[in-house]
Amino acid sequence: MKATFSLGRVAGIRIGVHWSVLAIIAVLALGLAARFPDAYPDRPPWQYWLTGLLAALVFMLSLLCHEMSHALVARRNGVEVEDITLWLLGGMARLKSEAPTPAAEVRIAGVGPLVSLLLGVLFGFLAVLSGALYGAGLVVEALAWLAGINVLLALFNALPAAPLDGGRLLRALVWRATGDPLRATAVAAGAGRTLGWLLVGVGVYLVLVGPAFSGFWFVILGLFLITIATAEGGQAKLRELLGGVTVGQAMGRDPVTVPASMTVAEFLQAPEFRYRHSAFPVVDEADRPVGMVSAKAAAGLPEGERDATVGSVMVPLDDVPTPHPGDPLVRLLPELGSSPTQRALVVEDGRVVGVVTTSDVSRVTSWLASTDPGRGRAL
């Protein structure tokens, strides 16, 4: 899920928002504004709408706190964080790698529901305090709703099914018991698919005989769980298939490099860069890698500005994975998928010795599956 626009950085972590957040804020604000008059009639309509909108915005901040807790604990446990994106069904913190140990997995996964639960308690306390000081009113009603929705979020996320936080906890327990992280992922993914189909069934039932709107959301949530859990299970089988394969075995060797000082116009016109690849490593005067440039990004520069250097339009090295040829290929997969260029520069002794693309991974996977029937069936 890619962000539509950015909110900047918090604690060095990029925060993005998908356009669907605007839809969920509108739905929540509408629902609350329609609910408030039943408890507190004869108020001006703008008060219902303003209170509902503020409550919806505070709930989104609660979701951000939930995801930030995952990101910060992950970083403390040696796992790099790509970014956080808020979207229709909540939030998602993208991690560049998996937890190194079951204990780290427990800490990273467990902190999210704990934060939501604590927020629920905090909002409940504020609701009681506000009621005691100022009496019942829209503010108390909104705080009570925030308390209940955060507690509900904590309980739902604690369910032992991937990709929920409880699924991560289940994976950690199975991992610790069996010593096999791949088997643990398969168990958590299976539980996620089961829960997803259960939610779909409940949703269909509600659409037919109950509140159709609630049933619709159950179906959407169930399908989301099924999709993500299935993807995680597939990734686990892929990691099993690629076990023992190194980056050097999958990479394309001796790639053509582009000098950072070359102009964009020269890059687009030079015959050695045409038709061969869609992106190239960029190197400095000492032949050290400094980034990667794509033909699409270069061609997107207006013709009047193409006297700029390739270095000005490249993806910097900090945003490109740079594995060693001897590194396990499976460890590169999360970074490769999140890389802006979908490529990794393989670096040895400060020099680019190869490039790994998602197509290279697919080629190796297909070859392994076709030459080893047992491993092929595992996929």
Contact partners, residue 100, CB within 8 Å, separation at least 6 = 77, 78, 79
Domain co-membership, 176 together with 38: yes
Q: Of 265, 249, 275, 286, which is closest to residue 364 (Cα–Cα)?
A: 249
Give, as one character, the DSSP assignment of residue 311. Answer: G
Domain co-membership, 65 together with 155: yes
Taking a C-beta distance cutoff of 8 angstroms, is the pair 328, 245 a contact?
yes
Dihedral angle sign, alpha carbons of residues 117, 120, 126, 128 = negative
Domain co-membership, 82 together with 216: yes
Dihedral angle sign, alpha carbons of residues 227, 230, 235, 238 = negative
Phi (first) and psi of residue 67, to 5 degrees? -70, -35
Contact partners, residue 38, CB within 8 Å, separation at least 6 = none
Q: Decide which of 171, 206, 241 is a domain's last residue.
A: 241
Q: Is 67 a catalytic residue?
A: yes
Q: Residue type for 307, please?
A: D
DSSP letter string over 249-271?
Answer: HHSEES---EETTSBHHHHHH-G
Domain co-membership, 18 together with 130: yes
Q: Of 234, 261, 248, 256, which is closest to residue 329 (Cα–Cα)?
A: 248
Residue 21 sits at the vertex; the CA angle it makes with 18 and 27, to the nearest 5 degrees, is: 155
Q: Which H/E stretch holds residue 15?
A: strand 13-17
Domain co-membership, 342 together with 321: yes
Residue 215 CB neighbours (<10 A): 19
Domain co-membership, 286 together with 359: yes
**367: CATH:** 3.10.580.10
Domain co-membership, 293 together with 210: no
Domain co-membership, 237 together with 259: no
Q: Which residues of 63-78 are buried (b: 16+ CB within 10 A; e: fewer)?
A: bbbbbbbbbbbbbeee
Domain co-membership, 224 together with 260: no
| Residue whose entry in the numeric block shows the structure tokens 């698919």 | 193
Domain count, the chain: 2
Strands 279-283 and 258-259, bridge-based pairing: parallel
Report pLDDT for 1: 60
Taking a C-beta distance cutoff of 8 angstroms, is the pair 102, 165 a contact?
no
Q: Decide which of 215, 241, 267 is a domain's last residue.
A: 241
Phi (first) and psi of residue 291, to 5 degrees? 165, -160
CB-side exposure of 338: number of CA atoms within 13 Å?
A: 18
Which residue in the list 67, 82, 141, 240 is annotated as catalytic? 67
Report pLDDT for 89: 73
Strands 315-316 and 289-294, bridge-based pairing: antiparallel
Can you tell me whether residue 177 is helix, strand or coil?
helix
Domain co-membership, 178 together with 201: yes
Domain co-membership, 288 together with 200: no
Tokens found for residue 219: 């179906």
Q: How far apart are CA 120 and CA 108, in angstroms?
A: 20
Report pLDDT for 377: 39
Q: Decide which of 180, 212, 241 is a domain's last residue.
A: 241
Report pLDDT for 215: 86
Give the predicted TM-score (pTM) of the model: 0.77
Residue 301 sits at the vertex; the CA angle it makes with 300 and 307, to the nearest 5 degrees, is: 145
Q: Residue type for 55, please?
A: A
Per-residue pLDDT tens digits of the chain, which is 379 residues long? 666 778 888 888 889 988 888 888 998 999 999 988 888 888 899 999 999 999 999 999 999 999 999 999 999 999 888 889 888 777 888 887 788 899 999 999 999 999 999 999 999 999 999 999 888 889 999 999 999 999 999 999 999 999 999 999 999 999 999 998 888 999 999 999 999 999 999 999 999 987 777 788 899 999 999 999 998 888 888 887 888 899 999 999 989 999 999 999 999 988 888 767 889 999 999 999 999 999 888 999 998 899 999 999 999 998 899 999 999 998 888 788 778 888 999 999 999 999 999 889 989 988 888 875 454 433 3
Domain range for 269 is 247-378
Bridge partners of residue 289, in order along the sequence:
283
- Give whole-number Cα distances, 227 to 192, 194, 231, in Å: 9, 11, 6
Tokens found for residue 244: 């023992």
Q: Which H/E stretch holds residue 31?
A: helix 20-39
Taking a C-beta distance cutoff of 8 angstroms, is the pair 343, 323 a contact?
no
Report pLDDT for 339: 80
Domain co-membership, 237 together with 264: no
- Give whole-number Cα distances, 63 to 218, 269, 285, in Å: 19, 49, 47
Reply yes or no: is the peptide bond before residue 271 cis, omega within 30 of 0: no
Taking a C-beta distance cutoff of 8 angstroms, is the pair 294, 310 a contact?
no
Strands 279-283 and 343-348, bridge-based pairing: unpaired
